[in-house]
């Protein structure tokens, strides 16, 4: 095996799940599932139910050897138990024939969270009968499809299904009970054991389960796994490991609950639901353990901390965010954890083959005329494959790797805003387009290994991920600052060398005065919160790079970083600065332009300034949206405002007030602390509670508006009949909500283009003025 190749016979492929791609939720006798009604979004998903021939062809073209999909229980047994719906099985029958004809090995998962609603109505997973029904369903599926599927997975990530679904209530069915969560988890384990028996009885060749195993670390361990812990921190780590990982690993693979977990379960719900003989049933021998890995759990002891509802029994443990590179989902990127975790499994649970059944990342994708250049996703997968390869080298029996996922899809409670696909899906047309990552992965599969040369343009992000530190740390190291420890500096410099990263034009600028470099200064990183800004950042980067400029990304999140940016520019290391977006009332833009380099801003600055900017007409868009509601006959209109220190929010509020004033109506405002769905939902509930006659809501962003849609449904208000809702931004998800959201479109590509043009003409010394782009109302069904 060379340094970049994988063992012979290593299995390459992708994973998907039924609810996230199939759509067709009432076709051919399918019964309702708990996710159909829980999802705030349209459930057509990728319409894979009808487009599977195209999707299989796509996988064939990409050279996939394996495809892990899940079977929808509600398609096969619409009422959850009892009569089998042959028409539902026909779909999987066709799919399997196509896969086999394409030379792709199917891996079937029997449960990926979409419980039949009828089973939930009879108690759901906290009811013991559910385990028995699941085994019957497994037998029915195997009966029909067993001749073409060799490898069966019973459950996908039972921790998520039990603790997010029944404990924290953020997944379907949305219950919030620690007792229900522990009972559900036990019955899932039991269902697994019974299904393994049923599958074996039917003659299944290989059977396993898929778990999300999360390495549990303290913040200090993220950059140094070997770090010794205080007694308190060690206890916190062990307790969370019991709840997240060993709760499932130990019963399945050792036939016992971890001794340190039993008292926690007992305190929450007692142990009456664990009957004699259960653990023997659960611990059926299995052939393959599927491991899903995305990000570690980072915790530390913190005496006053209340329990997190997703981890009942976690009192005194703080869940931490660490300054590593993150995906758009906000998940820390720590590739080496994959080696750590595969090594651990092979040592502590020996004798079972392992397969990475999910790994992948949500990044903001920008569709350009010549494709989707998702370098971040490629880097993410490449880094994780290197980590996987290191584990194999150390003897972990890892047989394959499946990327999550083939298509951009319906990401559970987060809807269509998340982009995990190797293939882009336009949800208005269902058009599929392979991203660069798909083509890159095709090459990896073809050579059974990683490319010898790395991606042409390693980014600061890649270096940060490789070294396990934040982007800010990398930039501190490459800018030669003293505030970094020698160990961290060595790790960063090693990553820089290995990746062949060219830090910035610093070296060159010493020779020529003109550096050809532009600093892109991100003033507030709103990870996960603001997909549009992220898209503009990415697009403007590629436009400026296309114009031959070298981009240095810098974060302006602290006073110290402001000083660093100013001295970077004063030292002549940048010809120009693009500042995105000046959300807080600071004077960085002014200070930078006084140095004499051109500065341009994304977004109108909070303080009047001579620095030119590109913005959309936030006030005008809000006026149009509000006038639209008035024209629809709405008389009691509330507004959900985002954080008032955002200039765009201030302007949207001003535009809204203006329209109301003209109509002689008074404003009704609810403030949201941030721009998330959760904040929008809470604010909408307040408006509905305070104002019984409320008949319309204008929200300052689409995510807030989607939260308002959820609140309306919870409050039993019909949209648009009882309540019209308008958002702002027109993010992808807006066209896919139920009902589809009326919103104000912010033209992302036009903004990036205008910003790049403004910068380039200022570099050429031309006089330029600010650009305000029109924000157009897009009318959909929510009004």
Nearer to ligand FCB, 403 or 478 (CB): 403
Q: Which of residues 703-762 bind ligand FCB (CB under 6 A)?
A: none
- Residues 468/336, Cβ–Cβ less than 8 Å: yes
Between CA 210 and CA 261 the distance in angstroms is 21
Which listed range, 154-162, 174-182, 262-270, 372-380, lies at the site for ligand FCB (CB under 6 A)?
Answer: 154-162
Q: Is 714 a catalytic residue?
A: no
Indicate which residue of 120, 157, 583, 627 is catalytic.
Answer: 157
71 part of the interface to ligand FCB, by CB under 6 A: no
Between CA 96 and CA 104 the distance in angstroms is 9
Where are the strands (E) in 571-649, listed by range? 576-580, 599-602, 613-616, 637-641
Ligand-binding annotation for 112, yes or no, is yes
Nearer to ligand FCB, 412 or 728 (CB): 412
Residues in contact with ligand FCB, counted by CB under 6 A, come to a total of 12
212 part of the interface to ligand FCB, by CB under 6 A: yes
Phi first, then psi: give them for residue 105, nearest 5 degrees. Answer: -80, 125
Nearer to ligand FCB, 401 or 412 (CB): 412
241, 294, 403, 604, 760 from 767: Cα distances, Å: 60, 48, 49, 18, 11
Ligand-binding annotation for 12, yes or no, is no
Which listed range, 87-95, 156-164, 506-514, 537-545, lies at the site for ligand FCB (CB under 6 A)?
Answer: 156-164
CA-nearest of 668, 588, 606 to 634 is: 668
Which listed range, 25-33, 75-83, 152-160, 552-560, lies at the site for ligand FCB (CB under 6 A)?
Answer: 152-160
160 part of the interface to ligand FCB, by CB under 6 A: yes
Where are the strands (E) in 189-313, listed by range? 206-212, 216-217, 288-292, 297-301
156 part of the interface to ligand FCB, by CB under 6 A: yes
Ligand-binding annotation for 166, yes or no, is no
CA-nearest of 562, 560, 571, 567 to 521 is: 562
Ligand-binding annotation for 661, yes or no, is no
What is the DSSP annotation of 113-159?
Answer: S--BHHHHHTT-TTSTHHHHHHHHHHHHHHHHHTTT--EEEEEE-HH
17 part of the interface to ligand FCB, by CB under 6 A: yes
Nearer to ligand FCB, 49 or 412 (CB): 412
Determine the longest span between alpha carbons in the chain, in angstroms. 82
We find the least distance from the C-beta atom of residue 15 to ligand FCB, in angstroms, to be 8
Q: Which of residues 274-303 bind ligand FCB (CB under 6 A)?
A: 292
Among 182, 257, 412, 416, binds ligand FCB (CB under 6 A): 412
Rg (CA), the chain: 27
We find the least distance from the C-beta atom of residue 156 to ligand FCB, in angstroms, to be 5
Indicate which residue of 120, 358, 382, 461 is catalytic.
Answer: 358
Where are the strands (E) in 628-671, listed by range? 637-641, 668-671
Between CA 600 and CA 769 the distance in angstroms is 10
420 part of the interface to ligand FCB, by CB under 6 A: yes
We find the least distance from the C-beta atom of residue 502 to ligand FCB, in angstroms, to be 33
404 part of the interface to ligand FCB, by CB under 6 A: yes
Between CA 576 and CA 93 the distance in angstroms is 59
Nearer to ligand FCB, 108 or 699 (CB): 108
Query: Bridge-partner residues for 438, per DSSP?
Result: none
We find the least distance from the C-beta atom of residue 410 to ligand FCB, in angstroms, to be 9
Which listed range, 58-66, 247-255, 404-412, 436-444, lies at the site for ligand FCB (CB under 6 A)?
Answer: 404-412
Q: How are beta strands 431-434 and 371-372 bridged, if at all?
A: unpaired
Nearer to ligand FCB, 113 or 137 (CB): 113
Between CA 777 and CA 622 the distance in angstroms is 9
Ligand-binding annotation for 331, yes or no, is no
CA 256 to chain centre: 33
Phi first, then psi: give them for residue 332, nearest 5 degrees. Answer: -60, 140
Q: Is 721 a catalytic residue?
A: no
Q: Which of residues 597-656 bind ligand FCB (CB under 6 A)?
A: none
358 part of the interface to ligand FCB, by CB under 6 A: yes
Which listed range, 155-163, 384-392, 713-721, 759-767, lies at the site for ligand FCB (CB under 6 A)?
Answer: 155-163
- Cis preceding-peptide flag for 173 (omega within 30 of 0): yes
Ligand-binding annotation for 35, yes or no, is no
Q: Is 768 exposed, middle or buried (0-12, 13-18, 19+ CB in 10 A)?
A: middle
Ligand-binding annotation for 479, yes or no, is no
We find the least distance from the C-beta atom of residue 89 to ligand FCB, in angstroms, to be 22
- Cis preceding-peptide flag for 720 (omega within 30 of 0): yes
Binding residues: 20, 112, 156, 294, 404, 411-412
Residues near ligand FCB (CB under 6 A): 17, 20, 156-157, 160, 212, 292, 358, 404, 411-412, 420
Catalogue the active-site residues.
Answer: 157, 358
Binding residues for substrate: 20, 112, 156, 294, 404, 411-412
């Amino acid at each position: 095996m060379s340094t970049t190749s994988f063992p012979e016979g290593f299995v390459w492929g992708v994973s998907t799940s039924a609810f996230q791609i199939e759509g067709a939720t009432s076709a051919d006798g399918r019964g309702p599932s708990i996710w159909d009604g829980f999802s705030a979004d349209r459930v057509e998903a990728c319409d894979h139910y009808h487009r599977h021939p195209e999707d299989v062809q796509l996988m064939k073209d990409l050279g996939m050897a394996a495809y892990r999909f899940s079977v929808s229980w509600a398609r096969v047994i619409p009422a959850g138990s009892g009569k089998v719906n042959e028409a539902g099985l026909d779909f999987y029958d066709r799919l399997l024939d196509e896969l086999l004809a394409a030379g792709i090995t199917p891996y079937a998962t029997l449960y990926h969270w979409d419980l039949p609603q009828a089973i939930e109505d009879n108690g759901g997973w906290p009811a013991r009968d559910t385990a028995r029904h699941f085994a019957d369903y497994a037998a029915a599926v195997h009966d029909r499809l067993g001749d073409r599927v060799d490898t069966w997975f019973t459950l996908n990530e039972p921790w998520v299904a039990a603790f997010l679904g029944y404990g924290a209530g953020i997944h379907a069915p949305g219950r919030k009970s620690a007792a229900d969560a522990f009972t559900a988890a036990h019955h899932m384990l039991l269902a697994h054991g019974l299904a393994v028996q049923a599958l074996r009885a039917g003659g299944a060749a290989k059977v396993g389960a898929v778990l999300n195993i999360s390495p549990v670390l303290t913040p200090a361990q993220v950059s140094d796994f070997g770090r010794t812990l205080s007694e308190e921190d060690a206890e916190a780590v062990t307790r969370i490991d019991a709840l997240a990982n060993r709760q499932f690993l130990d019963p399945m693979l050792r036939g016992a609950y971890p001794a340190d977990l039993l008292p926690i379960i007992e305190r929450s719900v007692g142990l009456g639901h664990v009957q004699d003989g259960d653990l023997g049933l659960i611990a059926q021998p299995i052939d393959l353990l599927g491991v899903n890995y995305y990000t570690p759990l980072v915790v530390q002891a913190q005496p006053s901390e209340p329990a997190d509802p997703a981890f009942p029994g976690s009192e005194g443990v703080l869940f931490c965010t660490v300054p590593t590179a993150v995906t758009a989902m906000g998940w820390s990127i720590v590739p080496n954890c994959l080696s750590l975790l595969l090594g651990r499994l092979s040592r502590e649970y020996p004798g079972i083959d392992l397969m990475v059944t999910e790994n992948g990342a949500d990044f903001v994708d920008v569709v350009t005329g010549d494709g989707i250049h998702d370098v971040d996703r490629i880097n993410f997968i490449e880094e994780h494959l290197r980590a996987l390869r290191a584990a194999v080298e150390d003897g972990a029996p890892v047989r394959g790797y499946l990327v999550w996922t083939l298509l951009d899809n319906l990401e559970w409670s987060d809807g269509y805003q998340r982009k995990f696909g190797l293939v882009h899906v336009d949800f208005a047309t269902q058009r599929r387009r392979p991203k660069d990552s798909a083509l890159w992965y095709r090459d990896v599969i073809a050579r059974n290994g990683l490319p010898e040369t790395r991606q042409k343009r390693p980014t600061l992000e890649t270096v940060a991920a490789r070294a396990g530190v934040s982007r800010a740390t990398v930039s501190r190291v490459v800018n030669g600052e003293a505030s970094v420890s020698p160990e961290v500096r060595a790790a960063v410099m090693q990553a820089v060398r290995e990746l062949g990263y060219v830090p910035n034009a610093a070296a060159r600028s010493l020779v020529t005065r003109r550096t050809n470099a532009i600093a892109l200064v991100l003033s507030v990183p709103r990870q996960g919160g603001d997909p549009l800004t992220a898209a503009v950042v990415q697009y403007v980067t590629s436009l400026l790079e296309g114009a031959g400029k070298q981009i240095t990304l810098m974060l302006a999140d602290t006073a110290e970083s402001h000083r660093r940016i100013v001295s970077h520019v004063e030292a002549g290391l940048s010809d120009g600065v693009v500042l995105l977006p000046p959300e807080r009332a600071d004077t960085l833009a002014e200070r930078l332009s006084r140095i004499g380099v051109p500065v341009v801003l994304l977004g109108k600055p909070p303080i009047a300034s001579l620095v030119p900017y590109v913005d959309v007409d936030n006030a005008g868009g809000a006026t149009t949206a509000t006038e639209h509601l008035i024209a629809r006959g709405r008389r009691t209109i509330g507004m959900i405002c985002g954080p008032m220190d955002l200039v765009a929010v201030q302007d949207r509020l001003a535009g809204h007030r203006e329209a109301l004033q003209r109509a002689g109506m008074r404003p009704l405002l609810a403030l949201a602390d941030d721009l998330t769905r959760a904040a929008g939902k809470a604010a909408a509930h307040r408006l509905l509670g305070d104002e019984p006659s409320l008949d319309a809501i204008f929200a300052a962003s689409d995510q807030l508006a989607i939260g308002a849609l959820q609140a309306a449904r919870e409050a039993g208000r019909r949209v648009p009949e009882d309540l019209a809702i308008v958002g702002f931004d027109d993010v992808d998800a807006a066209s896919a909500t139920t009902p589809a959201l009326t919103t104000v479109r912010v033209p992302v590509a036009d903004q990036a283009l205008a910003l790049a043009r403004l910068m380039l003409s200022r570099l050429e010394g031309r006089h330029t003025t600010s650009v305000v782009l029109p924000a157009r109302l897009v009318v959909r069904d929510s009004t």
